[in-house]
Amino acid sequence: MEMRMVKKYRKSRNKNINQTSFYFEDYFETNKKRKISKKINSIQDRIFILFFLFFSLISIFSIKIIHISLNKIEVLNQKNEVKKFTLLRRDIVDRNGVLISRNIKSYHAAINPKLIKNKENLLINLRINFPKLNIKNIEKKINSKKYFYLKKRITQQEKETLWSLGEKGIIFEPFQSRIYTHGNLFSHIIGQVDYDNFGISGVEKFFDKDLKNRDLLNKPLVLTLDTNIQHLISKELDNSLKTFSATGGGALLMDVNNGEILSLVSLPNFDINKRVKVEDQKYLNKITKGVYELGSIFKTFTIALALDNNLVEPTTIVKNIPRSVRCSKYEISDIKKFPENLSVEDILIRSSNIGTLLIARKIGEEKYKRFINKTNLLKSPDLQLEEVGNPINFDWNKCKLETVSFGHGITTTPIQATAIYASLVNGGELIKPILIKNSKKTKYGRIISQETSNSINSMLRKVVTNKNGTASLADINGYYVGGKTGTSQNYKDHNKNLNTFISIFPSQKPKYALLIMLENPQVAKDLIYDYRGMMIKGTRNEAGWNSVYVAGKIIEKIGPILAIKNKDFNYQYVAEKTNK
């Protein structure tokens, strides 16, 4: 039995050894499947990589397109280009921050004949939209096939009109243009720049380097001028030229304490936005470059010198004043008949030539020379402009002292005369006119004492208020105006005359000096004056009847603006009434 079982076991074992194993067969099939699976996975990975790359490219282009579309792009000459605008010059503003001058992006319109699609159509459109253009000349240039300028310095409206034509041959060349927001208003002060943005006149030239300073491009140049006051004075002065049929005129408003110029007007003026060369002498800056004999305004200088040298008092009586005085071969006289005996202040109030001459003789030539030299009356004005005049050479020969005492035989510029008046009434401190706000105040010395200055202020007020005064038409209620008139002939042409009035206000503590001058004014026959409560028709052609009248009108207009900024006006009325 055991043997049987052993044989059976062996037989079974041998059978199993020759039989293919179940587990072996399973392993072989699995391995084969795994190889196929790996191959499939490899293909899928490649597909995913390609898809990712394709998706990334699409994403990049999409982001770029969105970025471009969201950014502001200037379309110029049918091409997309981005240009950064960098200022070449600083802004210029007035004392209140009102813009006067600025650089902006402008365009020239040119034509490239090689890009024109339809020449006939272009010429027709130009003829319709720009009738002033020379179409025949433009056609000739187009046929030459050479690039040329259609129009330089075009306006925005012109650019839009040309752009709307849809012509590829029209090219817009960008450049920086200097614009002046008030056109004519500041023409004699601001000046101009050339096409390359270099200053060629006025403030633009004098401060050219400073205006192009890259470190200050975002900081405007601040002037002492007041745009509102400049407008009011310019308008009133322009009206006066028509009223008195004058050929020209000028006005200057100055702060007597620091020399700041709030307004400077010279008429006729011109539009500085138009790049044209101004050569006509009528457009001369009459205030800074004009050289004139200013007449009787010099009498104030003579009286001030006599007072300051203790030679006279305001109440000193000058006796036995003759009707005329012989000096060398000349005879000097007064236009009107005055009393034989006049006080010093009456001589100024009535404007007596002979009375002033006699006082000048008391002063003497040497003292008068020192005064003239110290005030630089015979030199070019020290001003922040290049457009300044040169007074005529002056020799102290026979009778010069006598004629200079009442403003004849000596020339100067209106701005210098006004600066001296400012110095006489501000307490005696010599000042120089300035155009830049917050300039460093410099002391130039004293020309008269505070006591003398007070006396001069009182006298100038009486020239306006006294019944014998020559400036009654400037007595504007509430502003306490004082001043002195001057009527003179043109030193080159005696057929021409100049009427001047320099006023100061408020008189008891002066803050402003205002000069008004009219060239060749005529009698305003149709003008009715309110003269001390009486209505009088115009019959005389003297400063007291035209320049003074204009000054009164101007002070009436600008007074409220200045009063708001000057507390001194608030107590003037009380002070004046108390003194009376």
578: pLDDT confidence band, cut at 50, 70 and 90?
A: very low
Cα separation of 315 and 312, whole Å? 8
Token duo for residue 528: 């009715």
DSSP string, 512-532: EEEEEEEES----TTPEEEET
The predicted-structure confidence for 30-62, as pLDDT tens digits, reads as follows 455 555 565 566 677 677 777 777 777 787 877
The predicted-structure confidence for 473-497, as pLDDT tens digits, reads as follows 999 999 999 999 998 876 666 678 8
Whether pLDDT at 507 is above 50: yes
Residue identified by tokens 């408003």 is: 253
Whether pLDDT at 451 is above 60: yes
DSSP string, 443-491: ---BSS-HHHHHHHHHHHHHHHHSTT-S-GGG--TTT--EEEEEEEE-S
Reference 142, options 165, 166, 173, 110; nearest CA is 110
Residue identified by tokens 């067969």 is: 25
Write down how long the chain is: 580
Give me the pLDDT at residue 274, please: 83
Average pLDDT score over residue span 124-133: 93
Where are the chain's structural domains?
Answer: 92-222, 230-579
The DSSP letter of residue 539 is -
The predicted-structure confidence for 301-321, as pLDDT tens digits, reads as follows 999 999 999 999 999 999 999
Q: Give the rounded percent of residues in the chain with a pLDDT score beyond 90.
A: 68
Give me the pLDDT at residue 56, please: 77
CATH of segment(s) 230-579: 3.40.710.10
DSSP strand pairing (92-93 vs 221-222): parallel
**Domain 92-222 indexed as CATH 3.90.1310.10:** yes
Average pLDDT score over residue span 271-299: 89
69: pLDDT confidence band, cut at 50, 70 and 90?
A: low
Whether pLDDT at 110 is above 90: yes
pTM here is 0.80
